[in-house]
A and B are shown apart, each in its own frame.
Chain A
Amino acid sequence: MSAAPEVASGGTLAGYNFAYLDEDTKRMIRRALLKAVAVPGHQVPFGSREMPLPYGWGTGGIQVTASVIGPDDTLKVIDQGADDTTNAVSIRRFFARVAGVATTERTADATVIQTRHRIPETPLREGQILVYQVPMPEPLFRLEPRVAETRRLHALGDYGLMHVKLYEDIARRGEVEISYNYPVMVNGRYLMSPSPIPAFDNPKMDRMPALQLFGAGREKRIYAVPPYTSVRSLDFEDHPFRPGRADASCALCGSRETYLDEVVTDDRGGRRFLCSDTDYCAERRADR
């Protein structure tokens, strides 16, 4: 049974519908996406399907991408900012095989960008769609474990629990101790998890010209932020939100503005900092 999968004309895999999911599933996800756009930041339940990779590897993002993507799209997939890690490469290859779409590593050339835990450094533009892979869509889940209760809190717009958490952080440590997955208010109404992007990326979500879609496969939730929509990181007047980054420059391109990954280089405390966004870093080096 080791024969290569049959390949149809155009290079896509035979025996599958366009973009893998059946049309009934796509229709259900599309309806959820439109309602998610209509109520920015509200989590819409959907019938998440079993995908050919395990939960936690981007099944929610993949289902959203599969319902959105068309033959004219160009897809970019990043994992922690990198185009060349296992998860990004395999998802990109998956859509090249089941949808026959063009793929790219350049942010500016992509029409659909699926991301795990980063927003590209290159500013996104109108017409682009950013699809986030979300492990836990409920921003209150560490504070209120009952799903029925979190739903009621969202209905009432009662986010006192989260304010108390931030206050207690400040009272104990002098600052908010959340460096990623930093909660945001969308359009002044819904508290939303931005997915585990670094807090450094939060300001990019505010009034972003691109459409932002969020898919949580295991938790079976979809939510969205339309373009030019207010996304505010939760804070206090006397303790304004301060996104953090390593106080260093990229060892490859020298950037002091981008989000950096710390790379341990030996067992004697040696370390380097590199841009987490591999495409942005490579373009900066090419421009020099």
Chain B
Amino acid sequence: MRAAALSPGLSDPATDAQGCFRALLDAMSRPGLVRRVPVAELRPPAPLSPAAAAVLLTLADAATPVWTDAGADAAAWLAFHTGCPPAASPGDAAFVLACGTPPPLDALMQGTDEEPHRSATVVAQVAALEAGRGGWRLSGPGIDAAHRLRVSGLPEGFAARWAANRAVFPRGVDLILCAGRDVAALPRTTAIVEEG
């Protein structure tokens, strides 16, 4: 690993992380709405998108093991900027950063009935996010009537796996979808109905 290969992280850690967190908090409390992370100049190593990189820079640190399929360059970049330890397997990770097909959701940390907050957060990089039309019809806390979200790039059958994740509430993982600089989130309470 050559040190010169590392691109910078957040240029102003306090305000950039705050801006990213507010986008995430808004996304998580209004499931299915697409929000943009305010990191115009972030250039993470391939295959990381600026949004996925910003989520990890905002939330990960030495207390949160991270598992990723993004390759050695991305893992080294994240380790340098956040200090996050690598997780041996997806099941040990607080954050699962998936650029390809995400690991099975039921193999990740689910939390317990008494401590459901001790569950993994999946940061899934997808091809595109489009709110408002077609795709999924979402309902649950944070949603007034229904939110619509079209996600390009998740594997077939994801909605069924999500239904199984929702069925173990209050246990279960939470999902942050990233594409380019866009984020959308599905907390474990959100129900998906597929509508072409």
1/0 contact string of A272-283 vs chain B (CB within 8 Å): 000000000000
CA distance A24 to B117 in the complex (A): 19
Establish whether residues B59 and A227, one from each chain, have CB atoms under 8 Å apart when the complex forms. no
Is there contact, CB below 8 Å, between A34 and B24? yes
* Binary contact track B108-150/A, C-beta < 8 Å → 1, others 0: 0000111111010100000000000000000001111000000
Residue A27, interface by CB 8 Å? yes
B54 to A: closest C-beta gap in Å: 13
For chain B, give the interface size range. Answer: 35 or more
State whether the Cβ of A151 lies closer than 8 Å to any Cβ in chain B. yes
In the complex, the answer to whether B22 meets A68 with C-beta atoms within 8 Å is yes
Q: Is the CB of A228 within 8 A of B64?
A: no
Nearest Cβ distance between residue B12 and chain A, in whole angstroms? 9
Give A67 to B22 CA distance when docked, in angstroms. 10
The reply to whether B114 and A35 contact each other, CB–CB distance below 8 Å, is no
* In the assembled complex, A31 has its CB within 8 A of some CB on chain B: yes
For the complex formed, measure the closest distance between the CB of A48 and the CB atoms of chain B, giving whole angstroms: 15
Given contacts A27-B61, A151-B114, A155-B114, whether A37 and B14 have CB atoms under 8 Å apart is no
CB contact under 8 A between A34 and B170, given known A18-B15, A70-B15, A211-B25: no
Verify if B179 is at the interface (C-beta below 8 Å from A). no
B124 to chain A minimum Cβ distance, whole angstroms, is 15
Q: A34-B25, A228-B141 are in contact. Are A24 and B189 (CB under 8 A)?
A: no
Interchain Cβ contacts under 8 Å between A and B, 14 examples: A27-B61, A30-B58, A35-B116, A35-B119, A37-B142, A38-B28, A38-B188, A40-B141, A68-B22, A69-B18, A154-B114, A227-B30, A228-B141, A229-B141
Q: Which residues of A contact B (CB under 8 A)?
A: 17-19, 23-24, 26-28, 30-40, 42, 44-45, 67-71, 127, 151-152, 154-156, 187, 189-190, 207, 209, 211, 224-230
